[in-house]
Amino acid sequence: MSKLDLNRREMPKQSPEIRKSNFNEVAFGYTKELAVAEASRCLQCKKPRCVEGCPVDINIPGFIKCIVNSEFTGAIRVIKEKNCLPAVCGRVCPQEEQCESKCVLLKQGAPIAIGRLERFAAEMEVAREKFELPEKNPPTGKKVAVIGSGPAGITVAGDLIMLGHEVTIFEALHAAGGVLTYGIPEFRLPKKVVNREMEYIQRLGVKLITNFVVGKTRSLQTLLKQYDAVFVGTGAGLPWFMNIAGENYNGCYSANEFLTRMNLMKGYQFPNSFTPIIRHKKIAIIGGGNVAMDCARTALRLGAKESYIVYRRSEAELPARLEEYENAVEEGVIFHFLTLPVKLTADQSGWVKEMECLKMKLGEPDASGRRRPIPIDNSNFTMPIDGYVVAIGNSPNPLIPSTTPELEVSKKGTIVADLETGKTSMDRVWAGGDIVTGAATVILAMGAGKKAARSMHEYLMKN
Amino acid sequence: MFEVIQKEMIVPNLHLLTIKAPEVASQIEPGQFVIVRSHQDAERIPLSVADWDREQGTVTMIFMVVGKSTARLARLNNGDNIPTLVGPLGKPTVIENFGTVMCIGGCYGIGSIYPVIRKLKEKGNEIITVVEARSSYLLYWLDKLGKLSKKIKIITRDGSFGIKGHINCLTEIMEKEKITPDRIIVNGCTYLLSKSSADLRSLNVPIVVSLNPIMIDGTGMCGVCRVTVDGNTKFACVDGPDFDGRLVDWTELFQRRKQYMNEEAQLVHSSGCGGGHE
Ligand SMILES: Cc1cc2nc3c(=O)[nH]c(=O)nc-3n(C[C@H](O)[C@H](O)[C@H](O)COP(=O)(O)OP(=O)(O)OC[C@H]3O[C@@H](n4cnc5c(N)ncnc54)[C@H](O)[C@@H]3O)c2cc1C
Ligand SMILES: Cc1cc2nc3c(=O)[nH]c(=O)nc-3n(C[C@H](O)[C@H](O)[C@H](O)COP(=O)(O)OP(=O)(O)OC[C@H]3O[C@@H](n4cnc5c(N)ncnc54)[C@H](O)[C@@H]3O)c2cc1C
Ligand code: SF4
Ligand code: SF4
Ligand code: FES
């Protein structure tokens, strides 16, 4: 065998200087040549560790081999056996913690860029213009309602329609896709990618009803009279605030509001769109995850001179995807680690103007295994700001649980569901994704959807 | 898509909009609202429901043209389709047999208080209705409201109809007419809500106000609609829109409502509110 190729191929990107003033996707994606070169580095391990790292068990060496041989249709077919949203996952999975973290080449510092190859395979399929519709199972006559059109709901709908059931998705907003549509910004996940996936499952026969809030427009109990089974994939949409003084001043947002204005309501096109946005000059984003990175980078693109990430732990504990952190640094986001906001002050007309913070130090590891941040006495200092965004997490949306007393929920407000099957305490009701786990990842939501679909199918065929 | 059954200007700058939405019509209760969008890419705007017909499957809203999105809504014609009407959102107004209830409406609130009064009456309450407008030509639905009310008082600022004055002559009217309500319900612009709450708090009865902060999703997802009530942050779209006006932080609410004023001005600007919006 030839010598190991340890040259992990970079994906061409827009340069930081240019991209920080537009909303186009940061990465261009691999060319065929780059993809084949990267794929050719894979050792085609007999016992591929990488697969263990993927929550949906994609046959990774299998699809990579197809790319090596320039069989791009074959590659996407292998991926789609397990993952119906490769264009999304290839872009947003935290690969360095999942598939790539298990690749044998990690020890040499050059794991195979599995995510980038997955993304490439998905784009090649689109480039063929008309992608083939797979053969569906014959109709079973069973009807399924899916609540929420995020990755969990899309997965359940896609799997069950293939198995011959009739599927209807109910979505509260006017556009489908969940966080993929209203949360993750255009420059990281172009909306056309999400729309393509939604169109695909609709072409398979899934019915999509938007502008429909289950629990308000119709109750879950009523849905159960009309459908044989129901899946709840309503996500974690209730924003947390810091609960510090001044958070209701003007110029203060939840990450959900900030990103929804930009994405779902197309605020970045304002004043050519209808939903107004404010262009802040110095904005502080509180938090250290993907959501915080997305807000900070969005703010830069809207013309902020200074966009800060204020995080109470240190760089080592940042929960964001590595690639997004690096992108944020390149674009000029300013990081204030070990810093905790404690109070906001406003000008006379109620606009935020200053943020008071405390310096922190790291103590012993806490329940999450990360070192606990401890405030340093008398370390208070202030930062002048004109915008403030809280991106410290979301709780599950209580709308359905609060109107469905039969549905068991945990103290945290998540729906209690069996992790292997997605079954809830309510007969004929399954749940999965962020509504069960609390805010997590796209691929975990999809994984939960897969398991629920399997269990629902089993039930439907028996009854 | 949702069909426009009727679009009509009922008084200058106030429009009535009836939309076919059978599911929403079948569920709606007094005090709830819907979110509409007039066309693709439009802003989502919350509107209280002023009436509905469960059999015909329609809901009716009354809205005032204040900015670009409401101006677009005003341009709709019968038979047009709009891409979004979602609801019913928010909690219904609490309606029991309270005894005597004073209902105050101004601007679009003259319409949205109508179903509240209708249900109050069904529950056996005595209703005293107060309607406020800048001038007689801005009054509507007086006969509908009058039929359900024991008394109806009309205030116009120019005195062209009813009592000449402003909402701040409420206390005077009440003393003169010896009105002692067990509960007060107010619908209309923020100024009317806050002024009524301030002037009537000495009566020591609940003053239920239907708040109208800026909203986006209307389902508790974004938090833009937050208001401080009794020292706690509430999301008006899911915890309200009704709150006790005696406990609302009005200064904050007025400030928050103005957040996008400069930006909205870039879009268009027209007209003021009948309630004397500052
Ligand atoms: C800004 C941001 C960036 C992120 N970045 C990443 C990333 O880089 N990588 C990654 O893996 N993960 C990321 N995540 C997390 C990931 O997006 C979520 O874990 C995932 O979307 C959860 O999927 P879901 O299907 O459970 O719910 P969601 O995507 O939240 O979808 C739920 C849907 O249900 C709808 N709904 C809610 N209530 C009702 C109701 N009563 N009736 C009808 N419909 C209802 C909602 O409107 C929504 O459309 C990010 C999240 C955010 C917010
Ligand atoms: C729960 C709820 C129920 C509502 N019900 C109704 C209703 O039944 N009928 C109705 O007409 N409106 C109602 N509103 C207000 C309505 O949603 C807004 O008027 C509308 O969103 C304005 O959109 P726009 O783009 O036309 O104006 P914008 O461009 O958003 O606003 C233009 C300017 O007018 C000001 N403004 C906004 N709203 C009002 C107002 N109501 N009165 C005076 N000035 C205002 C703004 O501060 C801004 O400066 C309700 C709001 C809420 C939250
Ligand atoms: S779905 Fe995610 S974890 Fe699985 S192989 Fe693709 S990028 Fe890796
Ligand atoms: S572990 Fe790495 S080298 Fe081995 S098959 Fe998976 S991707 Fe290829
Ligand atoms: S409007 Fe978004 S939370 Fe109320």
CATH code for the domain of A47 = 1.10.1060.10
Residue A88 included in any domain: yes
Residue A11 lies in a domain: no
Q: List the beta strands (DSSP E) in B91-138.
A: 100-106, 126-133
A58 and A38, same structural domain?
yes
Report chain A residues whose CB lies below 8 A from the CB of B69: 274
pLDDT for res B266: 57
Are A232 and A248 found together in one domain?
Answer: no
Separation of CA B258 and ligand 2 centre (Å): 11
Average pLDDT estimate for A72-97 = 91
User: Which token pair is A159?
Assistant: 């799997």
Residues A271 and A364 in one domain: yes
Domain shared by A400 and A339, yes or no: no
Q: Is A10 a member of any domain? A: no
Residue at A310 is within a domain: yes
The answer to whether the CB of B89 is under 6 A from ligand 2 is no
- B100-257 maps to which CATH number? 3.40.50.80
Q: Are residues A449 and A326 in the same domain?
A: no
pLDDT above 90: residue A153: yes
In chain A, pLDDT over 90 holds for what percent of residues? 78
**What CATH number should be reported for the domain holding residue A283?**
3.50.50.60
Number of domains in chain A: 3
Note the pLDDT of residue B267: 52
* Residue A354 pLDDT: 96
The CA-atom distances, in angstroms, between B242 and each of B26, B32, B132 are 21, 9, 20
pTM: 0.92
Q: Which of A392, A417, A439 is the last residue of a domain?
A: A392
Domain match, A248 and A364 both = yes
**Sequential DSSP letters for B207-223:** EEEE-----SSSSSSS-
Question: What is the reported pLDDT for A135?
Answer: 87
Q: Which two tokens stand for residue A338?
A: 């070990």
Task: Give the pLDDT score at A131.
Answer: 63
pLDDT at B195 over 80: yes
Nearest ligand 2 atom to alpha carbon B63: 11
Alpha helices in chain B (DSSP H): 22-27, 68-74, 109-122, 142-148, 170-177, 190-200, 236-239, 250-257, 261-267
The per-residue pLDDT for range A191-232, each reduced to its tens digit, is 999 998 899 899 999 999 999 999 999 999 999 999 999 999
Q: Are residues A267 and A321 in the same domain?
A: yes
One domain, residues A259 and A343: yes
Using CB atoms, pick whichever of B216, B238, B267 lies closest to residue A265. Answer: B216
Proximal ligand: closest to the CA of A119: 3
Same-domain status, A162 and A276: no
Does one domain contain both A28 and A147? no
CATH T-level assignment (fold) for domain B2-89: Elongation Factor Tu (Ef-tu); domain 3 (2.40.30)
Domain boundary among A353, A368, A392: A392
Lowest average pLDDT, out of A159-168, A365-374, A383-392, A413-422, goes to A365-374
| Long-range contacts of B63-67, Cβ-Cβ distance < 8 Å, separation of 24 or more | B63/B14, B63/B15, B63/B17, B63/B108, B64/B13, B64/B14, B64/B15, B64/B107, B64/B108, B64/B271, B64/B273, B64/B274, B65/B13, B65/B15, B65/B270, B65/B271, B66/B270, B66/B271, B66/B273, B67/B264, B67/B267, B67/B268, B67/B269, B67/B270
pLDDT at B272: 38
Quote the pLDDT of residue B234: 95
Q: Are residues A261 and A377 in the same domain?
A: yes
B91 touches chain A (CB under 8 A): no
Domain positions in chain B are 2-89, 100-257
Residues A378 and A405 in one domain: no
Confidence band (pLDDT; 50, 70, 90) for B175? confident
| A201 pocket-lining for ligand 4 (C-beta < 6 Å) | no
What is the model's pLDDT at position B271?
Answer: 36
**pLDDT band at residue B268 using 50, 70 and 90 as cut-offs:** very low
Return the amino acid letter for B184: I
Task: Indicate the burial class of A336 (C-beta count within 10 angstroms; 0-12, 13-18, 19 or more).
Answer: middle
Max CA distance (Å), chain B: 52
- The domain of A91 spans 16-128
- A261-307 residue pLDDT tens: 888 887 777 667 777 778 899 999 999 999 999 999 999 999 899 99
Residues of A in contact with B226 (CB under 8 A): 248
Predicted confidence (pLDDT) at residue B275 exceeds the cutoff of 70: no
Task: Count how many residues are written for chain B.
Answer: 278
Q: What angle do CA B102, B104, B110 make, to 5 degrees?
A: 135
Domain end position, chosen among A392, A424, A451: A392
Q: Which ligand is nearest to the CA of B240?
A: 2
Beta strand segments in A11-107, E: none
Closest ligand 3 atom, residue A82 Cα? 1
Q: Has residue A134 been placed in a domain?
A: no
